[in-house]
Amino acid sequence: AQKITQTQPGMFVQEKEAVTLDCTYDTSDPSYGLFWYKQPSSGEMIFLIYQGSYDQQNATEGRYSLNFQKARKSANLVISASQLGDSAMYFCAMSQVMEYGNKLVFGAGTILRVKS
């Protein structure tokens, strides 16, 4: 069975500094995808970044980058130059590839608070 582990219940970071949110995963599938979502207090889930298991390079999207270490089964999210608006819950998720699409398995989440 697939499993996502986020070991940091909460994190603080100073505005304008970088922060790394940890995510480890467990799967026996050779093909999978790793996702990060942001959930502000308002509740909506915002897609941030995606990494495929066969991608050779780490994914980047603006201030977000994914530090993918396949051998260690980790997919940490790095947010550079933190902003106050980055304060939110962050979820790491893994897709279980199926015939017609993907089913996502989510970690427990990490609450990030950006301090001014």
Partner 1 sequence: EAGVTQSPTHLIKTRGQQATLRCSPISGHTSVYWYQQALGLGLQFLLWYDEGEERNRGNFPPRFSGRQFPNYSSELNVNALELEDSALYLCASSLRDRAQHFGDGTRLSIL
Main-chain phi, psi angles of 84, to 5 degrees: -55, -35
11 binds partner 1 (CB under 8 A): no
Residue choice 21, 25, 27, 33 for contact with partner 1 (CB under 8 A): 33
Our CB check for partner 1 shows the closer of 13 and 34 to be 34
Beta strands in 1-116 (DSSP E): 3-5, 10-14, 19-21, 24-26, 32-39, 46-52, 60-61, 64-69, 74-79, 88-98, 101-106, 110-115
Map residues 74-113 to x or -, x wherever contact with partner 1 holds by CB under 8 A.
-----------------x-x-x-xxxxxxxxxxxxx----
- Binding characters for partner 1, 37-66, by CB under 8 A (x = yes): x----xxxxxx--x----------------
> Look-up: residue for tokens 């995510």?
23
Q: How many CB atoms within 10 Å of residue 62? A: 10
Q: Which residues in this chain contact partner 1 in the complex, by CB under 8 A? A: 33, 35, 37, 42-47, 50, 91, 93, 95, 97-109
